[in-house]
């Protein structure tokens, strides 16, 4: 990594800023979780605006509070949540590539719209992959800047790989890919094998209720509050859990499992949110409402293909 140049120094770390590539794959059988960006849509757009390939390491900023000093000129893009980001005190345009210069300060304040912002930089952030990935999972002590799963801390120096060419500034994502995270999302869910084990009334409620995002929400999973769902199955023998699985423990309150979930679990599931629905849920603040909407495998598959086709 001799080509790595320090581009930023962390002045204030904020509550949670994590380096994330696409995720850690092929090792879930060892009990190692997936990691990766909680909102792949915003993460992928940030990378794309600075000419980075799919999978390039970007920074996931949750809630805000992060302040970076630019130590060397480069081009960045921030997509996803509006966390009141500023450059030298001026409002930073989101979903747009921006040239930053040595001595400037990039600061994130607090959530204005959405919860997680993605900062991508030309060439991508440099970090040594651990088990094939830079994805930072503090609970497992894997990934991130030092490989040991530490979130960003004050004083950290962020280097980047040397980009093949400097991307243009002022490149904007089309308006129709920029969600308004304050609206109530309809989250596409693929029904799973245990869905028939839920009582009829519970099934009706599952798809006709405004579910409230609970305080207990993080990168492992998001609890939803609403009517108590009843399932004829009690506990199950633990089995693998995919991204977006919506499990229902005995208290009847669903939990949508996200990137840092445990790899196996034993609660019955309504089904699984699509990856894009997971990303949309990950932008919701506690207290916000969401709807679950059943979708078909064909539809989810073609939506996913359309999404991925936009990124190289």
Partner 1 sequence: MSAVLPRLEPAGLDGWMVRLFDAIDEANMPWLTALVRRCEASFGDALVDLVPSYTTLLVVFDPLAMAPDEARRRLMTLLADLQPDEAGDDAEPRELPTWYDPSVGPELERLAERANMSIEQVIEQHSQAEYRVFALGFAPGFAFMGRVDERIACPRLETPRRRVPRGSVAIAERQTSAYPLVSPGGWNLVGRTSAVLFDRHREGFSLLSVGDRVRFVPVSRAEFERLGGDTRGMEANQ
Query: Site residues (CB under 8 A) for partner 1?
Result: 25-32, 34, 130-131, 139-142, 147, 190-193, 237-245, 262-265, 271-275, 297, 300-301, 304-305, 308
- Between 147 and 252, name the residue whose CB sits nearer to partner 1: 147
Distance CA 19, CA 66 (A): 13
Work out how close the CB of 159 gets to partner 1 at its nearest, in angstroms, rounded to a whole number.
Answer: 21
**Residue-wise over 223-244: b if at least 16 C-beta within 10 A, else e?**
bbbbeebbbeeeeeeeeebbbb
- Between 209 and 274, name the residue whose CB sits nearer to partner 1: 274
Work out how close the CB of 57 gets to partner 1 at its nearest, in angstroms, rounded to a whole number.
Answer: 18
DSSP H helical ranges for 18-107? 40-49
Work out how close the CB of 38 gets to partner 1 at its nearest, in angstroms, rounded to a whole number.
Answer: 16
DSSP H helical ranges for 260-296? 275-281
Work out how close the CB of 235 gets to partner 1 at its nearest, in angstroms, rounded to a whole number.
Answer: 12
Q: Write the Ramachandran bin of 179: left for phi over 0, alpha for psi from -120 to 50, otherwise beta.
A: beta
- Between 53 and 112, name the residue whose CB sits nearer to partner 1: 53
Distance CA 288, CA 193 (A): 28
**Residue-wise over 173-192: b if at least 16 C-beta within 10 A, else e?**
beeeebbebeeebebbbbbb
- Between 91 and 262, name the residue whose CB sits nearer to partner 1: 262
Pick from 51, 35, 31, 55: nearest CA to 43: 55
Distance CA 192, CA 201 (A): 17
- Between 14 and 268, name the residue whose CB sits nearer to partner 1: 268
Distance CA 278, CA 128 (A): 27
Work out how close the CB of 286 gets to partner 1 at its nearest, in angstroms, rounded to a whole number.
Answer: 23
Work out how close the CB of 21 gets to partner 1 at its nearest, in angstroms, rounded to a whole number.
Answer: 15
- Between 179 and 265, name the residue whose CB sits nearer to partner 1: 265
């Amino acid at each position: 990594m001799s080509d790595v140049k320090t581009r930023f120094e962390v002045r204030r770390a904020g509550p949670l800023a994590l380096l994330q590539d696409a995720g850690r794959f092929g090792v879930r059988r060892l009990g190692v979780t997936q990691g990766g960006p909680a909102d792949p849509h915003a993460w992928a757009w940030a990378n794309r605006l600075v000419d980075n390939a799919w999978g390039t390491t970007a920074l996931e900023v949750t809630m805000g509070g992060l302040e970076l000093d630019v130590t060397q000129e480069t081009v960045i893009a921030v997509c996803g949540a509006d966390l009141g980001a500023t450059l030298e005190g001026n409002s930073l345009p989101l979903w747009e590539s921006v040239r930053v210069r040595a001595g400037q300060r990039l600061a994130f304040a607090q959530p204005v719209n959405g919860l997680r912002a993605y900062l991508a930089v030309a060439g991508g952030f440099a970090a040594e992959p651990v088990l094939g990935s830079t994805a930072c999972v503090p609970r497992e002590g894997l990934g991130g800047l030092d490989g040991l799963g530490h979130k960003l801390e004050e004083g950290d120096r962020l280097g980047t790989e040397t980009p093949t060419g400097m991307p243009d500034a002022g490149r904007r994502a089309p308006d129709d890919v920029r969600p308004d995270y304050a609206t109530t999302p309809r989250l596409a869910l693929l029904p799973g094998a245990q869905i028939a084990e839920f009582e009829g009334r519970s099934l009706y409620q599952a798809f006709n209720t405004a579910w409230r995002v609970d305080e207990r929400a993080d990168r492992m999973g998001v609890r939803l509050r609403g009517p108590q769902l009843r399932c004829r199955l009690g506990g199950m023998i633990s089995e693998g859990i995919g991204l977006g699985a919506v499990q229902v423990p005995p208290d009847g309150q669903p939990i949508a499992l996200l990137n840092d979930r445990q790899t196996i679990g034993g609660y019955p599931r309504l089904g699984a949110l699509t990856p894009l629905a997971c990303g949309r849920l990950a932008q919701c603040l506690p207290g916000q409402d969401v709807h679950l909407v059943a979708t078909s495998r064909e539809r989810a598959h073609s939506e996913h293909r359309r999404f991925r086709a936009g990124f190289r």
